[in-house]
Chains A and B, each alone.
With several copies, the nearest count.
Chain A
Amino acid sequence: MKLIFEESKSGRKSFNLPESDVNLKDFPGELSRSELNLPEVSELDLIRHFINLSRLNFSVDTQFYPLGSCTMKYNPKILEKAANIPEFLNLHPFLSILPDSIDRCKGALELISDFQDILCEITGMDYATINPMAGAHGELTGIMIISSYHKSRNSKRTKVIVPDSSHGTNPASASMVGYEVVTIPSNSEGEMDVDELKKHLDTDVAAVMMTCPNTLGLFEKNIKEISDLAHSVGALMYYDGANLNAIMGKVRPGDLGFDVIHVNVHKTFGTPHGGGGPGAGPVGVKKFLEDFLPIPRVKREGDSLVVVSNSDKSIGHISSFFGNFAVILKAYLYIKLLGTEGIKYSAEMAVLNANYVMNRLKGYLKLPYDRTCMHECVFSLSEMAKKGASALDFAKFLIDRGFHPPTIYFPLIVKEAFMIEPTETESKETLDKFIGAIIDAVKLAEQNPVAFKELPKTTVISRPDETKAAKDLVVKA
């Protein structure tokens, strides 16, 4: 499709502004901008452009999207409707800090407070903030809290420990807070190697960051031991909530010894991902870390709510106000819809679906860690790749069959990783069709692996040249 800039024609216009009811004044010339190049299109051409563009995407509403570690579950439509209620949509966040204006946004503050409480209840934490605007932003916030805590105790710590299976955001976040990152290898069970951990655990360690279940979809059976070990040297335990969907309602990170957590609400609480955000990464902490939470903060004081916008110990602002409030609103409604039993049931069905896919496919694909998985399972296509059909090839094959491909080449510790996360919202029929397609791909890999190179054939483009993109760097029209 043409770019909308190529569809532009001088003098066209989609939107009409109300006529000004005051006389127009000219802005001083010396402070004025140069020629502005924005598309000039009619409203119809604008709509047609974007609606047709949208049709080039796969999405949860149109396809199965088993993208491991991304939890592309169904996004209930009622959440969108709720987020569009004008009394929230048009609410200016400054009302939360303006003089005597708190009753102007009472409903919003109550929602935030309730969400914080419920998040704590689900995760086993004591206090929470909704300010971080994405999972990685929650990690950053969490590590800042940990750093501030250590500083408040005059404890100079320099390292953060992460497993080699961790999300890239973990080391990157630790690094942004000034920490040196120590990586611990996984053992043959796919878990953190406790002996290796012990070698690196000392009083220089500020935190151990864990994903649990980890990115192999495996529950870390030694997690409590690891917590105890970390705590014994004064290090804190950080819980990357990316995989909370697997255990919510079954066990709480707080009860496993974690001191700080973040949750990716799109992964766990049904909010849409939007093709790359907005997400939200609320953070929960144990009681002793309360003072370090970012500002502004909604806090219950007796029967009323207050907004704390100044606090000495706080890490300070990490967003202007309450992060992605409307995303939290959706997550809040989602949790309320599910209730305690729905939260737990969702985790159970997510895990059942992943194990079903794993068991049905393990006769066809190599399973590097052959044990009960949690909400996702990771295969290695290294043997297929030797035959000429890589994980990327499998991905393209699936696109032609109408499935969004699983995550490939992550986690890095599995060769030709092929990571399937079905989520709890998919039916057995969908899983069976997907499994059937993969079995077909396995057969094709055995019979005619070269055929993969021509795939996908059903899409508007096929196998774009990524090297050229990085070399030529055309990043605007």
Chain B
Amino acid sequence: MNFCPHTQEDIKEMCSVCNVNEVDDLFKDLPVEEINFKKLGKGISEHEGYNHILDLAKKNNLISYHFIGAGLYDHIIPSVVDFVASRSEFYTAYTPYQPECSQGTLQALFEYQTAICNLTDLEVTNASLYDGGTALAEAVLMSLRITRREKIIMDKSVNPIYRNIVKTYLKFLPYELIEVETNGIEPDFDKIKFMLDSDVACFVFQNPTFYGSVHDWTELVNFAHEKGILAVSSVYPISLGIVKTPGQMGVDIATGEGQSLGNPLSFGGPYFGFLVTKKAYIRNMPGRIVGETLDRNNKKAYVLTLQAREQHIKRHRATSNICSNEGLCALRALVYLCSLGKNGLKELAQINFSKSEYMKKKLIELGLNIKNNATTFNEFVVEFNKPAKEIFLALLSKNIAFGVPLYLFGGSEKDILINITEKMSKEKIDNVCSILEAML
């Protein structure tokens, strides 16, 4: 099938207006090439197409429950989120270049910016970036622009995939990236501090760390500031229902993966990244920004602002090449945050924390070692007395995906990163622990 409405008469009439005999005459500038389609067959009806996707979906041999987090989390999504995001006027609109016919999107993004600033205790943010990893990379690039320095210090308890993304973004550019080894699985504050000299543009950390540990980075941030170094962090937004914020710690540029705020896992995307900073740095920020103003009748209005930073105006001198962002995912996050509200997000964070503590206790009772030396939020590392892969596969055979074995990221063969959200019931925790008990 296709979605073109023209009848044969329409086409005839229109060709005549175009002074051509047939549509192909309009393609006379193109070289004639034979295209031999082998893979893509004949068009099909939507019924067949949907069933084809359904058949593919059924090929995913689903697990019954899982403890996988590692940056992407399985949280409850309120029904209102899908409902709002599926409104025609939101999801089939374009970037709000024409403010008069885009106040819906513009106001929603302004509200989103407000929510993200409030969540992180920082002052300005954009209307979203691609994801948590690229947001961190953009923050690093931003710090290089701001400081005009050329060295980046990155703690190794930052999500290893994010670190890879940062490396990808940097490896074509003349900057030096130094990664600082952890002490066990915790950040080595002394070592980082030692690296912070006046050549450094920024130091990069994550809180909670990839391993789930929560730290207060304030002291290190203050130390960095004394040397003119920016503090760049990545943060898990759900944790901010309860955990000390980047703003409170004095962070200059906070970033994060927005997935957990009302976006389904969807095998990797779409999600969105956020980047929040201090007002002073707004002109160095990448991405679109919505600002408040007045219209010709002095009525409050919202517009895209500071567009002169962007690629469609500034071209190769732009703050980033980003054009389309993840607006609809940001809208989902806004609806999510409004749905939970101030107390709901706090309660959610507390439940995540409490359930995770419960599981830690159960594992300790089994004689296992929790490797985190710090407070954790809803994720932690458990050490087994045998290869983690063995444990993982044994539970997988029971349709349970038991976290992320850390050898996959160069960690110990015996460690597994375990995540617990509000979706995980006590019953399931007890169940998996009793299976483990029998295995150990």
Contacts and interface: CB of A to CB of B under 8 A. Distances in A.
Interface in A338-352: 338-343, 345-346, 348-349, 351-352
A38 B343 CA distance: 8
Contacts of A85: 53-54, 57
B26 A250 contact: no
Interface string A308-346: 000000011111111111110100110111111111011
Nearest to B78: A15
Given A75-B92, A472-B293, A93 B267 contact: yes
Given A323-B268, A475-B113, A59 B30 contact: no
B94 interface: yes
B60 A9 contact: no
Interface residues of A, number: 215
B72 A92 contact: yes
A20 B355 contact: yes
Given A60-B92, A219-B29, A319-B165, 7 more contacts: A18-B47, A22-B426, A57-B101, A88-B266, A93-B268, A273-B92, A461-B301
A475 B396 CA distance: 48
A342 B115 contact: no
Contacts of B101: 57-58, 63, 399, 404, 456, 459
B8 interface: yes
Given A168-B315, A169-B311, A277-B327, A250 B30 contact: yes
B187 interface: no
Interface string A55-97: 1111111110101001011111110111111111111111111
A270 B3 contact: yes
Given A58-B101, A59-B93, A118 B17 contact: no
B44 A425 contact: no
B131 A319 contact: yes
B21 to A, nearest CB: 13
A107 B57 contact: yes
Interface string A118-130: 1001101000000
Contacts of B310: 168
Nearest to B27: A250
A399 B44 contact: no
B210 to A, nearest CB: 12
B99 interface: yes
Contacts of A15: 46, 78, 80, 339-341, 344
20 contacts: A17-B351, A24-B354, A25-B353, A51-B88, A60-B88, A70-B94, A72-B94, A77-B80, A78-B49, A88-B57, A251-B32, A274-B328, A274-B329, A276-B94, A319-B131, A319-B269, A348-B26, A428-B10, A462-B297, A463-B296
Contact of A315 (B109, B168, B323): B168
B88 A273 contact: no
Nearest to A274: B328
Interface in A94-124: 94-101, 103-108, 110-111, 114, 117-118, 121-122, 124
Given A270-B3, A275-B331, A355 B18 contact: yes
B137 to A, nearest CB: 9
B15 interface: yes
B368 interface: no
A31 B214 contact: yes
Interface in B76-130: 76, 78-80, 82-84, 86-105, 107-111, 113-115, 117-119, 121, 123-125, 127-128, 130
Contacts of B71: 320
A174 to B, nearest CB: 7
Contacts of A124: 35
B396 to A, nearest CB: 6
Interface stretch (B149-157, B196-204, B282-290, B432-440): B282-290
A360 B14 CA distance: 10
A410 B103 CA distance: 22
Nearest to B113: A476
Nearest to B28: A372
A144 interface: yes
Contacts of A121: 37-40
Given A72-B94, A100-B396, A278 B295 contact: no
A27 B244 CA distance: 10
Given A59-B90, A315-B168, A464-B301, A274 B338 contact: no
A167 interface: yes
B13 interface: yes
